[in-house]
Copies of this chain bind each other. A is one copy, B any other.
Amino acid sequence: MKYKHARLSIQDTMDVVGGKWKLILIFVLFDGKKKFNELTREIGISPRVLSKELHELEVNGLIKRRVCDTKPVTVEYSLAPYSESLKDVIVALCKWGEAHRENIIAGKFDMSPKSKSIL
């Protein structure tokens, strides 16, 4: 079992950025800092889940949380420098999803997979 180490690396990555929202959040934050409510509205995530995801991303050093003393208080979430390291991952996933979608449209499958990005 010589490649066990690589397998664990994949699993580690999935532990940190897996799930429905984490990569999406990071991707959206590449566009610039956002407030809590902007995020809920922009990606359609419930506040409960958003709060949890943001906290986990913060623990893993991927985003920064800054409380602004506006009235009422707002909180800015932005990418920590460490998120730069995820660019390759995000680009790879993004490219593949796009290519996959085109393959589906072109009818290159015997069976019938589904794609969210086909309207």
A92 and B92 contact, Cβ closer than 8 Å, known pairs A9-B117, A24-B7, A28-B7: yes
The docked-state distance in angstroms from the alpha carbon of A112 to that of B59 is 7
Q: Tell me if A60 counts as interface (CB < 8 A to partner B).
A: yes
Contact, CB under 8 Å: A97 / B12: yes
> Given B1, B27, B98, B108, which contacts A3 in the complex, CB threshold below 8 Å?
B27
A89 and B85 contact, Cβ closer than 8 Å, known pairs A59-B111, A111-B59: no
The docked-state distance in angstroms from the alpha carbon of A1 to that of B43 is 10
Which residue of chain B lies nearest to A87 when distances are taken between CB atoms in the complex?
A: B92
The docked-state distance in angstroms from the alpha carbon of A24 to that of B31 is 31
Contact, CB under 8 Å: A86 / B96: yes
